[in-house]
Amino acid sequence: MSGGDNPNNPRTPPTLKRNQIYHSSEKILLIDESSTTIDDGCWAPQRYQPSSGYKNLISNRHDKKSEDKADPNAGVGNALFTDGHADSIYRQKSTLPENYDPAN
């Protein structure tokens, strides 16, 4: 049983099949996380809070001359979506629940 299938672990949601994800072409699965905000190797956009020091930001180093940690809305970065396609998206888009919550 994987961690996501463990009903006794409230921190991890159950594993979903692709046909159970609403708008799978719009749901982010993985990001190219900023090296300045990476904390544990796990992208957790629901933990994106100014008070937490802007953890889990998508990297914008490909859009700028250098990484911009000061502005959480700055630039674009790379993301992989649950339908299998990859795209460059605005950093702010990766922080919105409608783009990562499979039930939304």
Q: Distance (Å, rounded) from C-alpha 85 to C-alpha 16? A: 18
Which range marks the domain in which residue 51 is found? Answer: 24-99
Q: What pLDDT, in 10s, does the model give residues 54-71?
A: 667 788 877 766 676 666
Q: What pLDDT, in 10s, does the model give residues 9-27?
A: 656 667 888 788 888 899 9
- With respect to residue 30, please indicate whether it lies within any of the assigned structural domains: yes
- With respect to residue 63, please indicate whether it lies within any of the assigned structural domains: yes
Q: Model's pTM, two decimal places? A: 0.72
- With respect to residue 16, please indicate whether it lies within any of the assigned structural domains: no
- With respect to residue 65, please indicate whether it lies within any of the assigned structural domains: yes
- With respect to residue 12, please indicate whether it lies within any of the assigned structural domains: no
